[in-house]
Structures are given as structure tokens and as C-alpha cells.
Structure 1
Amino acid sequence: MEPLHKHARSLAPALQPVISCNALSRARTTIEDFVQSYFPLHGLVVPQDFWRFWDILVFVEAVIYEMDEENEALSTEGQTVPDVVLQGEEVLLAVLRERGLLSSAISEQLQEGRLYWQSERDLCARMLRANPAAASAQPPFSVEEVHAASLRKSFDYRVLNLLLYNLTDTTPDRALLDFLYVDEHLVDIGDDLVDYEDDIEKNSFNIFRAYVHIFGKDAPLHLAKRISEFEALHHEKLQQLPQAAQNAYHNRRKQASAVPGSEKWVFPKAILYEAEYRST
């Protein structure tokens, strides 16, 4: 008897198996945070409204995580293969298209995701080859390349948010999207500080890791400057939102800040010699 996966491509997109249990597990945390943080901004009630949309939201995020795992495997090996077509992308696009949910804005954010994964492969391969001990050692990339990659990292949240607008048949709020763009970047920086050592081991993209490759032991000072700039922009854009959206944001932040230390920026010790660190 032939294995079932050989016939998967002959099935309709909505019937094709493209998600692993591990991808679902990784998607769970993101979906929980997305629902608690973004649903109130849309005036939706948790958990009641979540049950209306849970299937498509979980499916989309899990497929994205499946592709992310495939890309991380390439990054770990230091592969820089350009224009990689990750498994599941074709099915994801087809399902959204069939349901009338594939807007041009969502397509644009999925393209941002492709560019992020490509940047991760490229930048991480360069970090893997870097030798800071060499007398003529130069940074393996520019800070502009690092910022471009980091700003694209939360493309999955942006896909889910735009998807929620489509599911509720409402027009995207430009001011809210601009605010969330800044907020998502700050959250990503915080996550990268927490995951710094793990990302060195896995050879994954991490803005602090990249800053260390550029600025060495002064990386915390330079990243603190960027954080300060984005916090000022964050405050400015938050004030431009309707009071209801501001209240929803503050309520969610109050919930999140209940975790000890969550309101502080904690910089890990910079690891200048990654190869040596990985070997130990």
C-alpha cells in the first residue's frame, strides 16, 4: 500500500496535510497572545469571538511556523539558498484564496515573510563564518541590513491582524497598523534579548546577536539607543489612537506586566566568540 502523503497533492488545498504537531505547539503561544492583545483592539470579545475564527487563524499561524522550522533548519546549517519555496506556502495561499481572504495587503505581508526568511539565511550564514579574532575582521553586514530583517520579523502577526479585518469585514485602521508596527518591533527586540544564547546555538537571526557582530561589547549601548527611539515613536503613535484602543492596549500591557521583570530591558552578556561558545 502506498503512503497517503504521495496522494496529498491530488487533494483540494483545504484537505492537504501540511502541519506538524510541533508547529501547532509553537503556534499556540502566538495565537494566545494575538487573541488577548489584538481582539480587544478590534472590539471583539474573548473567548466568544475567538471560536468564530479559531480554525483559520490557527491554520495560518501553524503553517507559517511549519515554514519557519524548515527555514531554521537551513539557517542552522548555514545554507544561503536563494528563492527557497518552503513547504506549505502553496497550500496556505490556495486556502486563503478559496475563502476569499487573500487580500493584496496579506499577500504583501507574506512576501515580507519570504524576505525575512531569506535575510535570516543570509545574515546567519555570514555570522556563522565570521571570525572576530582575525586582525582584519570587519562586520559581516551593515546595521541597515539588520534593521530591515528585524522589522520584518513579526510579519505573521500582521498577517493574522489583516486576516481578522477580512474575517470581520472591516476596513484596516491605518493609524492602528502604524502603531502596532512599532509595538511589534519593540516586542521582537525584547524576545531577542531573552532568546540570545539559544539563537546563537541554533544560528537563528537575533537583533542583539547581529549588533554584537557589528559593535562588539558596545552592542547594548547601540541597541538601547534604538529602543529609546522606538519607545518615543511608540508613545507618539499611541496618543493618535482612539481612547478605546488606548484603553485596550493599556489593559493588555497591565496583564503582561504582572510577570516579574517584564517591564525591564535586560541585556545579556555579549558573546564575542560564538564558535567557542557553541563548542562549550
Structure 2
Amino acid sequence: MSVNVVMQASTCRSGLRFLKPIHSFSSQGACQLAAPQQNQNLDLPHRLHVSLEALERSRTSLHDFCISHFMFHGLDPSNHEHNFKYLPVLAFTEAYVYEVDVEYEKALKKMQDIHDPVNDVDPFYGLKLELAARNLWTDRMANELLKGCHYLKLEQSICRSGPEDQISILDARRALEFKSADYKLLNLLLYKMRGEEVNEFHFGFLELSNLLVELADNLSDYEEDVKDNSFNIVRVFYKVYGPKLGSQMLAEYISAVKLRFEEKLNKLEPELREKFPIRYQEELSRGKSIAEIWEVPPFIDETPYSALVSSK
């Protein structure tokens, strides 16, 4: 099956952003995260607070997650019993992430530094404590949260870099991969709630599919992200390689990811290989054709926007 048919990707999905990275994350993905302790200070706004706004903002991501991931757990997103059994925990978790996201956006707009806190309270501590109390917290989930925190630091570094600052393409690619940490966290939660071991092949396949969705979003949102000084992989390729070579190198990167995705798609179980493309057909947004989705946008001179950001 052609990846062009499969990847009629949704371009309205929001990725994960984190307020404060708590622990270090190595390039090999190893991490150390202490288990939640009952005596940690919880006098902070994020203790277990989830607003209606956060719930509303998380709806699109939750819908997309259920449509794309439930089938890999033998679940039907249109089945009310399946939804009501698992959605309370999934919805609370995603909304909690969005609640922290609101605070991060405020800090980023004010150009405030996002520090690696030594003595600060973990803004996700309440979420971890709640999941641990239900025997749902795992070290692997902690690792996904750390990847999301690492995305934040990479995003901050890239977005605040000046014309003379060097940016690593590898860091930008890692940031794009880490941006979907919330989906991986939700997927791990679903395995844990169902009492099943993680299917590593399915998990890796869905990681690639999420990466392609993020790529489609970045291509579509390039101009808007330039104006907002938001992280976008297109901006990085143009800054590192220049307008002409940057477009070519980005197209090669996208093709390589699509090829890896198609190889895994062809190895899926027949039922999943038949069902999964429907997700993208149903979630196609903004009225774009397949060719338009994967078209690398033309270079934008960021100089006027950089001056505007610097003056704030």
C-alpha cells in the first residue's frame, strides 16, 4: 500500500509542550526519575488542577488518539463501553498536560527562561502521584515525560537562537520526534490499564505515524510559526542549509521517514493494515490534497519577524 494513500495526515493536531524539565535526559534515552513520595510539597497550582479549558483543548488530541491507537489494543473507538472504561484516565492525563502547556505558553510569550529546577516542584508531580496511586505509573512513562521536557529545552534553544547561532539538525529532528510524547504516554497508559505487555512493533509503528503527522503540521504551519517564533522543522532546515539546499534536504528527510513508515506498515497484521489508512482519510484537514500536504513551502525571510520578537 502506498504511503501517499496512507498519509492523508491530520494537520490540526497539537503536540506536547512542557513547562519545566525536572531531570536530565541522555542522548541514549536513559533516565532516572524518583518515584512519587507522599511528603513532597504540593502547594502549587498544578497539584491536581485540570480546567475546563484544558479539557476542551485536549479534545482533538484525544479523538485522534482513540481513532489511531485503539485498534492496536483490540478496541473500537465507536464502542461506548470501550470509551467509558478507559477515557476518564486518558482524558485526565491529556488535560493535565494541556494545563501545564498553558503556563509554558505564557512564559514563552514573555520570553521568560524555563529553568531546570533543582528545588522547584515538579509540575507533573500531581499527575504522577495520581497514576501511581492507581498502580498505573511506570518508569517508561517517566522516560516519555522526560523526552517531552527535553523537547521543551530544544524548542527554547532553537526559537531563541540568533542569526549567527548554530543549530543542530539532529537536535531539531529529535525535538520533532519528542513532540508526540503525550501520545506515547497515553499509549503506555492504555497497555497498563489493559494489563498487557507493550507490543514494541506496534509502538514503533505508531511513533513513526505520529512523526509523519508532526511533519505534515510543520509544513502546513511554517508561515504561521515564523510569525509566532514557534519551533518548526522547516525553519531549521532553511537556517542550516539555506533556501535552496534546505528545501532539498528537508524533502529527502521526509522521504526517508515515509519509507520507514511504509516498510513497517507492510509488516502490520492484515486487519490493522487495512484499517489504519482510514484514520488518515477521515482526519484529512484544511482541504489539502496529498501532494499539497507534502509540498515543502517556499523560504520566508525571517529578518523582519526576528526584529519584532527582539523588540518585545
1:172 aligns with 2:203: no
Report which stretch shifted further, 240-249 or 32-41.
240-249
Kept in 2, the 8 Å contact 1:63–1:88? The answer is: no
Residue deviations 1:60-109, cap 9 Å, x none? Answer: 11111122232233333444433156874111111111111111221111
Residue 41 of structure 1, aligned match among 60, 72, 76: 72
* Misfit runs of 4+, over 6 Å: none
Residue 202 of structure 1, aligned match among 210, 219, 228: 228
Residue deviations 1:115-161, cap 9 Å, x none? Answer: 111211122111xxx23xxxxx4x53111111111111100000011
1:20 aligns with 2:51: yes
Instruction: Find the residue that maps to 1:172 and give its secondary structure.
Output: coil
Residue deviations 1:1-31, cap 9 Å, x none? Answer: xxxxxxx9479x9xx5422333222211100
1:270 aligns with 2:296: no
**Separation of aligned partners in 2, 1:83 and 1:90:** 15
Residue 267 of structure 2, aligned match among 240, 243, 261: 240
Report which stretch shifted further, 215-224 or 176-185.
215-224
Partner of 1:107: 142
Instruction: Find the residue that maps to 1:82 and give its secondary structure.
Output: coil
The 1:140–1:71 alpha-carbon spacing in structure 2 relative to 1, beyond 3 Å, is farther
**Separation of aligned partners in 2, 1:154 and 1:108:** 13
**Separation of aligned partners in 1, 2:205 and 2:285:** 23
The 1:116–1:161 alpha-carbon spacing in structure 2 relative to 1, beyond 3 Å, is same
Report which stretch shifted further, 215-224 or 97-106.
215-224
Instruction: Find the residue that maps to 1:245 and give its secondary structure.
Output: helix
**Separation of aligned partners in 1, 2:170 and 2:66:** 32
**Separation of aligned partners in 1, 2:239 and 2:230:** 14
Kept in 2, the 8 Å contact 1:18–1:88? The answer is: no
Which amino acid in structure 2 is aligned with residue 35 of structure 1? Answer: C
**Separation of aligned partners in 1, 2:203 and 2:289:** 24
Kept in 1, the 8 Å contact 2:148–2:179? The answer is: yes
**Separation of aligned partners in 2, 1:70 and 1:123:** 19
Instruction: Find the residue that maps to 1:269 and give its secondary structure.
Output: coil
Residue 152 of structure 2, aligned match among 117, 120, 124: 117
Residue 57 of structure 1, aligned match among 63, 87, 90: 90
Quick check: which one's helix share is greater?
A: 1
Kept in 1, the 8 Å contact 2:141–2:188? The answer is: yes
Partner of 1:145: 171
1:181 aligns with 2:207: yes
Kept in 2, the 8 Å contact 1:71–1:86? The answer is: no
1:255 aligns with 2:290: no
**Separation of aligned partners in 2, 1:35 and 1:119:** 29
**Separation of aligned partners in 1, 2:126 and 2:138:** 16
**Separation of aligned partners in 1, 2:289 and 2:108:** 29
Which amino acid in structure 2 is aligned with residue 98 of structure 1? Answer: A
The 1:241–1:278 alpha-carbon spacing in structure 2 relative to 1, beyond 3 Å, is farther
- Gapped runs of 5+ residues in structure 2? 1-40
Pairing of 1:216-231 with structure 2 (within 5 A):
216-218=242-244, 219-231=246-258
Tell me the CA shift for residue 167 of structure 1: 1.2
* CA RMSD after TM alignment: 2.6
Normalised to the residue count of structure 1, the TM-score between the two structures is 0.84
- Gapped runs of 5+ residues in structure 1? 1-7, 132-136
**Separation of aligned partners in 1, 2:193 and 2:99:** 23
Normalised to the residue count of structure 2, the TM-score between the two structures is 0.76
**Separation of aligned partners in 2, 1:76 and 1:273:** 18
Percent identity of paired positions between Structure 1 and Structure 2: 29
Report which stretch shifted further, 62-71 or 102-111.
62-71
Tell me the CA shift for residue 268 of structure 1: 2.8
